[in-house]
Structure 1
Amino acid sequence: MRGPDPWAAPPPPAPGGATGLGGAGSGPGAGRPVSWGREILAGAVVMAAVAAAVGPVLGLLWERLAPRVRLLVGGDALYLENPESQQAIAGDGTFLLLGLGVGLAAGVGVFLLRRRSGVAETAGLALGAGLGAVLAWRLGELLEPDRDEIRELARRLGDGAVIDAPLELNALGALIGPAFGALLAHFLCMALWGPRDPVRRPPVFPRWG
């Protein structure tokens, strides 16, 4: 049985630009130009959705779970009840850890909804998580009583009373937590369960016999 003629003309390319070797034109949708307007719109939608989800959730969790700094009323002044306490930095650490957790959930959610997300959507995920962190920071502090209310409460309670200081974020570096967690979860999901490139088939060598 004779094999294919090695001197014969190569077969014509398949419709749609497929090469038959699993190259750049062999996948679904290959050869079609990228619509950058659609990509940017998808990234903006992802950014808005992630920010709207991360901001309120993280802000409420931080306001509920962060430890408070205890203040001692002494005349017209307020003093730290325990100057050596770590509660001041514990609030920042709580925001960072909660932000990582919320960011991980956001990254997994975007992957489940958009398994074939592109560069614009990944950038939208990171920007949305960062914007959500800022919203959470402002929301958490907005839910706390302001300084005037704290002073009025101290005057009503009198000397020796102990009250909680309003929640504050002192280490702004904690704002990176949601974006880091979101990108980490998204990259891991893409590496483990993301779409794969088509496998290249080796070329068929001519049989001379």
Structure 2
Amino acid sequence: MGESSGGAAHRSSAVADAWSVPVLWRPRRERPKVVVKADLLPAVSVLSTAGLLGIPLGWLWSRIAPPERLRVVTSDGRLAPLELESWHRFDDLAIYGFLALGLGLLIGVVAWLLRERRGPVVLVAAVGGSALAAWLGTQMGVAFGNARFEVTAAPALGSVVEQAPKLESGWVVLAAPLATALVYALLTAWNGRDDLGRRLG
């Protein structure tokens, strides 16, 4: 009986001593350093590949965006939009914005899947590539649209012609890089590892 009570007292004092000793110093874990040189070439590949996606982006927009129908009102070819047709100017801008947003999300996810190259270098390349793709899409999309709705002959008075879709604001280019940066940041926060899982690649 005495031995059991003595052993219990010894264990309780050991537990108390373990909890009562403050931890003044803990070994500091070495955080992974940002890799720059090894990620430069993959970053250039990400930037150039993402930038080239602006060509199919522009082509797809030129096929989806509605043209604006106008009527020839004078003999010298002056045009006037039909009723409610001027709304398509906003439709063209909104459609391109949503397409650029989707492309930015796609680029961000694909860049994140490059596990062995995760980090700020590839992030900057992905954001730059998505911005380049969005800008190239505006140029190629308008060109594709003009070729699709090209007027080959002078329209007659009173006839209705279709005007190619156009983008009247350059701010729509920001949709893609903002989406890329946002999805990459969210995936980084969700990962929670110091090296973003690079060592597991």
Same fold (TM over 0.5): yes
- Cα offset, 1:86, TM superposition: 1.3
TM-score, with structure 2 as normaliser: 0.73
Distance in 1, Cα, partners of 2:98 & 2:157:
36
SS of the residue aligned with 1:144? Answer: helix
Structure-2 residue corresponding to 1:141: 142
CA-to-aligned-CA distance 1:157-185 (integer Å, 9 cap, x gap): 41222221122110110011111111122
- Cα offset, 1:85, TM superposition: 3.2
- Preserved CA contact (<8 Å) 2:34 2:119: no
Find 1:196's aligned residue among 188, 193, 196: 193
TM-score, with structure 1 as normaliser: 0.70
Matched, 1:113 2:110: no
One-letter amino acid matched to 2:166: E
One-letter amino acid matched to 1:24: E
Q: How many residues align?
A: 169
Matched, 1:98 2:99: yes
Find 2:29's aligned residue among 23, 26, 40: 23
Q: Which runs of 5+ in 1 are unaligned?
A: 4-19, 199-209
Distance in 2, Cα, partners of 1:172 & 1:110:
25
Distance in 1, Cα, partners of 2:69 & 2:172:
22
Q: Which of these two proteins has the greater Rg computed from alpha carbons? A: 2
Distance in 1, Cα, partners of 2:56 & 2:146:
20
- Preserved CA contact (<8 Å) 2:69 2:85: no
Distance in 2, Cα, partners of 1:185 & 1:104:
6
Distance in 2, Cα, partners of 1:112 & 1:64:
30
- Preserved CA contact (<8 Å) 1:116 1:195: no
- Preserved CA contact (<8 Å) 2:42 2:117: no
CA-to-aligned-CA distance 1:17-74 (integer Å, 9 cap, x gap): xxx946016xxxx5xx765333333322211121123x12321221111122111122
How many percent identity over aligned positions?
Answer: 26
CA-to-aligned-CA distance 1:110-163 (integer Å, 9 cap, x gap): 1112365111110001100000011111111111236x943x44x2x4122222
1:82–1:100 distance in 2 versus 1, CA, 3 Å: same
Distance in 2, Cα, partners of 1:136 & 1:84:
24
SS of the residue aligned with 1:130? Answer: helix
Q: Which runs of 4+ in 1 moved over 4 A?
A: none
Matched, 1:60 2:66: no
Map 1:157-196 to 2 at 5 A.
157-192=155-190, 194=191, 196=193
SS of the residue aligned with 1:86? Answer: helix
- Preserved CA contact (<8 Å) 1:106 1:182: yes
1:34–1:107 distance in 2 versus 1, CA, 3 Å: closer
One-letter amino acid matched to 2:47: M
One-letter amino acid matched to 1:196: R
